[in-house]
Structure 1
Amino acid sequence: MFQHTIDKDLALRVFRLDDAEEFFQLTIKNKAYLKEWLGWLDYTNTVEDTKENIRGRLQGMVETGGYPKSVAISYKGKIAGTIGYNEINRTSRIGKIGYWLGEEYQGKGIMTKACEAFITYGFTELDLNRIEIAAATGNKKSRALPERLKFTEEGTIRQAEWLYDHYVDHVIYGLLREEWARNHS
């Protein structure tokens, strides 16, 4: 089972079905906070909805030959959020990362460390050549992450996502394996 320890407080690990209650409670506690930028929250109303989400994540491991596409971010033994490849194009070897963190876990460097580890995992274990991150133009916290990790801002997709009652534009960031290797050698 995939588990990657980042430091004494922080690890990435595969979700388990018995995480459903804890992950659901984190989601519900942060629903108002997350709803500003995530469009799926109206579909998470019960622990069973979260179990279905986790089942889908586990099925993603089957699709990748045993490698997880998304994982729990565990901080001091509690689920703090999640990071994953929302999409993997095997032919072109491109992965698209998505992530979110509970509000109480913000500002501790958790997502930066988690994203660095997941990028390394994508390039080394999943054999990706390119990793993309899309963030709403107004989502300054989410945009700061790829900028901090030396992704290249490649452009803006207009009206890329419907968020409840309006469209938002997305800024697309890209990072190539050779760029990551150059910055991490």
Structure 2
Amino acid sequence: MLIHKIDQEISLRMLNIDDAEEFFNLTINSKPYLKEWLGWLDYVECIEDTAQNITARLKAFAENGGYPRSFAIIYKDHIAGTIGFNDINKTNKIGTIGYWLGENFQGKGIMSKAFKSLIDYGFKDLALNKIEVSVAVGNKKSRALPERFGFVVEGEIRQAEWLYDHYVDHVIYGLLSNEWKKLCN
């Protein structure tokens, strides 16, 4: 799944080094919006930082046996955000999804379609048994995704993440492969 067309406007594809400038600009332009829930934004200061991130993603692709772990979300030929598996536990066949969408791309159903597509990819192509999502308790938009797609709340982790000047608790969601198959039938 190097490029996966979801519909006429949306697709998922691997980021490549040529995307560094566009991806950097998306990140910087959305920084005030994203900073409420993403704790790494202060580490992105120049295009080279984004290029290093893309290089790490490409390395993970090779380490994952030629299966990409993360994707650019493409909307009308522009990078709108990113989605992927931040972690894959091969022994237990568990993948943990992470995602974000640029501020100007919100409210168009883009992330819902990308999220569903990544779940299918995780269960079908990567043969995962379980997919997890960890989301800050107060992040209602991000929590809506796993809830919409049948994920079950498995617990809450107190002070799971440091966001600049405070800790936030996380809700852990999980979905099993057999549950997804039932939901899709």
TM surpasses 0.5: yes
| Corresponding position: 1:10 with 2:10 | yes
- Offset at residue 131 of structure 1 (A): 0.2
Residue in 2 aligned with 1:101? 101
- Offset at residue 155 of structure 1 (A): 1.1
Residue in 1 aligned with 2:147? 147
Distance 1:57 1:84 in 2: 10
- Offset at residue 63 of structure 1 (A): 1.2
Residue in 2 aligned with 1:27? 27
Please report the TM-score for the alignment, with normalisation by the length of structure 2.
0.99
Question: CA RMSD, aligned part only?
Answer: 0.7
Letter in 1 for 2:116: E
Residue in 2 aligned with 1:123? 123
Distance 1:20 1:147 in 2: 32
Distance 2:7 2:94 in 1: 28
Deviation digits for residues 17-51 of structure 1, max 9, x if unmatched? Answer: 00000000000000011010000001100000000
Letter in 2 for 1:164: Y
Taking only the aligned residue pairs, the percentage that are identical comes to 64
SS of match in other structure, 1:23: helix
Gaps of 5+ in 1: none
Letter in 2 for 1:145: L
Residue in 2 aligned with 1:174? 174
Residue in 1 aligned with 2:71? 71
Deviation digits for residues 56-107 of structure 1, max 9, x if unmatched? Answer: 0001101110011000000000000000100000000000000000011111
> Matched residue pairs, number?
185
SS of match in other structure, 1:172: strand
| Bigger Cα displacement from structure 2, 104-113 vs 93-102 | 104-113
Distance 1:68 1:162 in 2: 28
Gaps of 5+ in 2: none
- Offset at residue 5 of structure 1 (A): 0.2
SS of match in other structure, 1:127: coil
- Offset at residue 168 of structure 1 (A): 0.2
Letter in 1 for 2:72: A
Residue in 2 aligned with 1:92? 92
Distance 2:7 2:129 in 1: 27
SS of match in other structure, 1:50: helix
Please report the TM-score for the alignment, with normalisation by the length of structure 1.
0.99
Alignment of 1:159-170 (within 5 A): 159-170=159-170
Distance 2:161 2:16 in 1: 29
Letter in 2 for 1:7: D
- Offset at residue 128 of structure 1 (A): 0.3
